[in-house]
Structure 1
Amino acid sequence: MAQTQQKKLGLTGKILIGMGTGILFGLLLRNLFPESQFLQDYITDGILNVIGTIFISSLQMLVVPLVFISLVCGTCSLSEPSTLGRLGGKTIAFYLFTTAIALSMAIIIALLIHPGNASLAAENMQYSVKEAPSLANVLINLVPRNPIQAMTEGNMLQIIIFAVIFGFAVAHIGERGKRVAALFTDLNEVIMRVVTLIMQLAPYGIFALMAKLALTLGIETFESVVNYFFVVLGVLLIHAFVVYPTLLKAFSGLSPLLFIRKMRDVQLFAFSTASSNATLPVTIETCEHRLGVDNKVASFTLPLGATINMDGTAIMQGVATVFIAQVFGIDLTITDYAMVVVTATLASIGTAGVPGVGLIMLAMVLNQVGLPVEGIALIMGVDRLLDMVRTAVNVTGDSVATLVIAKSEGAFNEVVFHDTQAGKTTGSFVDQVNYEAKE
């Protein structure tokens, strides 16, 4: 009986089946009923949209309470200001370092492959972008005037700032603070239990998301920019499976292969949802229970990474800048490309929390080097597909940074990391879902 139970499908397998069958289902309906209004109204915009949206909403529902509670818990354990400052400095420095690498690599590869074709430029290309905030406004808006409003609006940087200050205060009020910290620890367990419950819906939600994507996204939308698409995709894969593993090995000495193996569920969730924030509950659970990172580090670095670490977006910006310059026949100098790296790296923090942040950042970069913002219209058709891959890259980078920093801070359990079965005794979301499915 035990052997039979072990052969039952795990969460990773269920997610892969949900993705595959969703895509096949969508393509089948699309070919059987082309241009069907009934299909559009009742299946694509009806059933599939409802199921997919409910699943995404259920994940996003957890983001604000999870970030706030986990950050308070983590900061409570960092009672010394020097410890908090050191941890924050290391985290931001590592994120900026990997973003600069991603941008530089994207620009160099794009220049070598030359994906742009000047014949693609069209006079009627139009794209309007929201104005990016000034640096002064970015700094002012870091501190929330109303923490409750920041939570209701999902302003992650403001939530992070308030949670860190709140947790730091809790750690410095003696016995009363210990009681508050214990309450937040219990609340953290409750939130993780909710994550476990929602994960049981994952295969069905992902099926609906993939089916809708197959029904709505046409191959013809990226025929004219197929070279751009594959250059961005190639650089994303290199960054995820070459650069990150190399950095992990160099800075921590840990096995990149074992890391990638344990990250499969997180990467699949990120790919399916195209949202680092929606994937955050899964990322935190995996880092703590499967990779052996202490909560005081994971609860700080991961929410911060989901907000400011945008390596995948940086890669898109680097390739897109070269691509648009080539399409419009504009020659950029080495100084221009250096400016692109600096601007986009700093913008990854400066524009965090702004709706449409990726496109706003790209518009900022294009304006910085004198390229027409209208060129963004060329790449809009394939951006949804690339956004899914970018998100998987981003969460992988968040986890690498978390491991490296945890190892340097002595907040890492190497036994858990090397244990391929880690998590079964700690109630991680994957094992809990699999266990309950067998009951």
Structure 2
Amino acid sequence: MTEAKTAGKSKLPLHWKMAIGFGIGLLVGLVVHATGNAEAGWVQDLTRYVTTPFSKVFLNLIFMLIVPLLFSALVVGIAEMGDIRALGRIGWKTLAYTVLLSAVAVLLGLVLVNVLKPGAGVDPALAQQLLVENAERARQIVASVDTQPKGLDMLLSIVPDNVLSAASDNGSILALMFFAVMFGVGMVLTPSEATATLKRGIEGVFEISMTLIGLVIRLAPYAVACFMFNLAAIFGFDLLIRLGAYVGVVVLALGLHLFVSYSVALKLAGASPLQFFRGSQEAMVMAFSTASSNATLPTALRVADEKLGLPKQVSRFVLTVGATANQNGTALFEGVTVIFLAQFFGVDLTLGQQFMVMLVCILGGIGTAGVPSGSLPVVALICAMVGVNPVGIGLILGVNHFLDMCRTTLNVTGDLTLATLVARGEKGDVRLPGQAGDAG
């Protein structure tokens, strides 16, 4: 996740443009709803010929870039651990703890969103009306629900028999991600000049994909205005209530994982959670203010060395890899968001489908692009995969920057926690937080 950059002081940051678009679309939509003009001819023409087509083009652009983006991001993310064999247990422990912490984060988010149900309570007739008004895209998505594999077939479908077919089908995207992970592992285990050249080529695809996503995201302020107008004109002030509940659940889940899950993990590693959080304060504040894991990396490296007393050979590897591959907050956010939108649109997801959501979110934490709203393609993808109308991402865009700041704080703190866990048992002068001689 990176903070939007501006070419000049006079230009507004992207997140402010998105907030303005969100506010304008929401305000106009609420006025239309309150005055009872939702069925007026001019409103119908506006949604039919302007707002819905524009939002559909925006979604299509996102879906168009999903396959090259996720494949290259996952392969590069795995390959960046590159010297897993040479690094031995440091590399494997990093990978194991990354998956474990991400799984705990997503599971926590899914439990909270299912218990608190922030998206429930919307009039089903209105939700169906919105699905109908979004015509082709909505019908294609809803129709795909019955075609999704379930139970044992779902698990077997993770291993694709045809990679190209999986890439062309949103419902089979988990199979593509599995292939990407296997491909990345294969690159790590095949050190050669040809493999190094291939890796540079895939890195090029990744960089091009991020550049294109960055260009598409520039349309987001206009797209979010269209999304919010369509939603607010139909749902009215109930939309604000559900949106507030959604933000509350995301922040609660992030807070619990930050202070409870990490504290338990640190305690099991023999470290003092209190001393850890005290020493990590500077990096956490930097992460919250910049909403950028990459921008916080230099601070995190210094904190790991000076405040937490971690060995440099561990912290440099773990924090560098973790800045892109250990995104617990992003994975949690994606899981909560998909289930919230499912509740909002009245889509009943089975345990098997939620398990699939969990798997994709864990992999998505590794393969999320480092651009503004980089988790947006993954959220849209999972929504389409489980039969949830991705038009609901307009809700996410409006509050995304604040949630981005919160989940980036969790991501960076998670990287420092991961480094502390990996440092346990490693040789050298390792001083875990809370032990004698701790600088924090």
TM-score range, shorter chain: 0.5 to 0.7
1:56 maps to 59
1:37 equivalenced with 2:37 (yes/no): no
1:200 equivalenced with 2:218 (yes/no): yes
> Matched residues in 2 for 1:182 and 1:399: separation?
28
> Matched residues in 2 for 1:7 and 1:386: separation?
26
Q: Say if 2:250 and 2:333, in contact at 8 Å, map to a contact too.
A: no
Q: Say if 2:72 and 2:202, in contact at 8 Å, map to a contact too.
A: yes
Which of these residues, 143, 151, 155, is aligned with residue 139 of structure 1?
Answer: 155
Matches within 5 A, 1:202-281: 202-219=220-237, 233=246, 236-240=249-253, 242-246=255-259, 250=263, 253=277, 254-255=280-281, 256-263=284-291
* Superposed displacement of residue 37, structure 1: 3.0
* CA distances 1:101-120 after superposition (whole Å, capped 9, x unpaired): 4466568779xxxx99xxx9
2:168 maps to 152
> Matched residues in 2 for 1:189 and 1:317: separation?
32
Supply the AA of the counterpart residue of 2:335.
M
Q: What TM-score do you get using the length of structure 2 for normalisation?
A: 0.57
* Superposed displacement of residue 162, structure 1: 0.8
Matches within 5 A, 1:290-309: 296-297=321-322, 300-301=325-326
Q: Say if 1:68 and 1:159, in contact at 8 Å, map to a contact too.
A: yes
- C-alpha distance 44-295 of structure 1, shift in aligned 2 (>3 A): farther
- C-alpha distance 58-133 of structure 1, shift in aligned 2 (>3 A): closer
More deviation, 384-393/69-78: 384-393
2:133 maps to none
> Matched residues in 2 for 1:308 and 1:245: separation?
13
> Matched residues in 2 for 1:18 and 1:238: separation?
23
Supply the AA of the counterpart residue of 1:216.
I
1:95 equivalenced with 2:102 (yes/no): yes
For residue 168 of structure 2, give the secondary structure of its aligned residue in structure 1: helix
Q: Say if 2:160 and 2:166, in contact at 8 Å, map to a contact too.
A: yes
> Matched residues in 2 for 1:9 and 1:306: separation?
28
Q: Say if 1:351 and 1:357, in contact at 8 Å, map to a contact too.
A: no
* Superposed displacement of residue 144, structure 1: 1.1
* Superposed displacement of residue 152, structure 1: 1.1
Q: Say if 2:288 and 2:408, in contact at 8 Å, map to a contact too.
A: no
Q: Say if 2:174 and 2:360, in contact at 8 Å, map to a contact too.
A: no
Matches within 5 A, 1:116-135: 130=146, 133-135=149-151
2:15 maps to 12
Number of residues paired by the alignment? 333
- C-alpha distance 261-57 of structure 1, shift in aligned 2 (>3 A): farther
1:168 equivalenced with 2:185 (yes/no): yes
> Matched residues in 2 for 1:150 and 1:25: separation?
41
* Superposed displacement of residue 68, structure 1: 0.6
> Matched residues in 2 for 1:152 and 1:191: separation?
17
Matches within 5 A, 1:414-429: none
2:198 maps to 180
- Name structure 1 gaps, 5 residues minimum: 121-126, 264-285, 319-323, 325-341, 361-379, 412-439
Supply the AA of the counterpart residue of 1:141.
S
> Matched residues in 2 for 1:394 and 1:131: separation?
33
- C-alpha distance 55-401 of structure 1, shift in aligned 2 (>3 A): same
Q: Say if 1:103 and 1:315, in contact at 8 Å, map to a contact too.
A: no
* Superposed displacement of residue 180, structure 1: 0.8
> Matched residues in 2 for 1:140 and 1:347: separation?
12
Q: Say if 2:20 and 2:221, in contact at 8 Å, map to a contact too.
A: yes
Q: Say if 1:312 and 1:394, in contact at 8 Å, map to a contact too.
A: no
- C-alpha distance 85-296 of structure 1, shift in aligned 2 (>3 A): same
- C-alpha distance 203-27 of structure 1, shift in aligned 2 (>3 A): same
- C-alpha distance 243-259 of structure 1, shift in aligned 2 (>3 A): farther
For residue 159 of structure 1, give the secondary structure of its aligned residue in structure 2: helix
Q: Say if 1:309 and 1:394, in contact at 8 Å, map to a contact too.
A: no
* CA distances 1:101-148 after superposition (whole Å, capped 9, x unpaired): 4466568779xxxx99xxx9xxxxxx9974874442222111111111
Percent identity between matched residues is 18
Q: Say if 1:22 and 1:211, in contact at 8 Å, map to a contact too.
A: yes
Supply the AA of the counterpart residue of 2:105.
T
* Superposed displacement of residue 216, structure 1: 2.5
> Matched residues in 1 for 2:210 and 2:387: separation?
33
* CA distances 1:214-266 after superposition (whole Å, capped 9, x unpaired): 222245799xxx8xx59954751542563244359746744445434334xxx
Supply the AA of the counterpart residue of 1:94.
L
> Matched residues in 2 for 1:45 and 1:401: separation?
41
For residue 6 of structure 1, give the secondary structure of its aligned residue in structure 2: coil
Q: What TM-score do you get using the length of structure 1 for normalisation?
A: 0.57
1:310 maps to 335
> Matched residues in 1 for 2:112 and 2:96: separation?
24
> Matched residues in 2 for 1:289 and 1:47: separation?
38
> Matched residues in 1 for 2:406 and 2:152: separation?
28
1:189 equivalenced with 2:207 (yes/no): yes
Q: Say if 1:68 and 1:163, in contact at 8 Å, map to a contact too.
A: yes
> Matched residues in 2 for 1:140 and 1:168: separation?
20
* Superposed displacement of residue 289, structure 1: 4.8
> Matched residues in 2 for 1:231 and 1:17: separation?
18
Structure 1 vs Structure 2 CA RMSD: 5.2
* Superposed displacement of residue 197, structure 1: 1.9
- C-alpha distance 345-391 of structure 1, shift in aligned 2 (>3 A): farther
